[in-house]
Amino acid sequence: MARAPLAALPLLLLLVPGVPGQVGGPRPPQPLPKAACTQPVYTWCSSWEHARSCETEKMCFAQRRPLDAPPVSVKLFYEALCPGCRSFLVMVLFPTWLLLGEDVMNVTLVPFGNAVEKSVNGTWEFTCQHGELECELNMAQTCVLYLLGKQFGDAFAVITCMMSAVDPTTSLELCLKLYAPALSVDDIKKCGTGPQGNELMHQNAMMTNHLSPPHTYTPWVLVQDQHLEDANNLLNMVCKLYKGEEPPDVCKKNTFAFTNRI
């Protein structure tokens, strides 16, 4: 027996007795289409709309607890092409922030590292440890942080995307499209080549050069403004220092350092 072509299948189904939507028969109420989850994982609990579409309501409700303690401050002083910085940010810092959430862990990123600045004719010039490309990437990431402002999660995702790329020097455009589509490469270039970017990088230099004690390598990690000797122990340290009455579940269940050494 010849088979009906697939294109005709919807019409055939309308003629089969008992099939919902049959011609001449009552059409039962149709459920509303389920919203698809298109949100990055770090935004699943940012609104109940996101939580519903991604089916994370229970998880997000469990994470919503009274802010009975301030978040633990974690500051990273780094440079964009430093292999150890890339490894720490991608394999330790970002995952820890995802596990704990911004209510428990407040992250500050300072791209400058071992660069040097000098004033020339009223503007600042920068020389970076890994060359001119690193200076450009430091500036690009500084501008991403500035232009996204309070949308730190999006900025953090863009920077993590850049740092995890095989070639960070060509990753900006794709990472913006994935995590901050409202920004363009032109927006970043305009910031980075103008007076705003120059001043922002000077501020990074000031924060880095006034560390006490001074940094001696990168990545240089401060937790509650104290240098963290073993950066792989970040999760344990933040859990230990968080003073909330109800610590995150991950702090109750795990006491470990990330095994991927930087």
Q: For the segment 144-192, what is each residue's pLDDT rounded down to a tens digit?
A: 999 999 999 999 999 999 999 999 999 999 999 999 999 999 999 999 9
140 neighbors 172 (Cβ within 8 angstroms): yes
CATH code given to domain 66-253: 3.40.30.10
Nearest to 105 by CA among 213, 244, 5: 244
pLDDT at residue 68 tops 90: no
Q: Which residue has the tokens 């009906």?
A: 4
Q: For residue 163, with 0-12 CB atoms within 10 Å meaning exposed, 13-18 middle and 19 or more buried, which class applies?
A: buried
With 0.95 as the threshold, say if the pTM is over it.
Answer: no
Assess contact for 115 and 125: CB atoms under 8 A: no
Strands 220-223, 226-227: pairing is antiparallel
- Domain borders along the chain are 36-65, 66-253
Model confidence pLDDT, tens digit, residues 149-162:
999 999 999 999 99
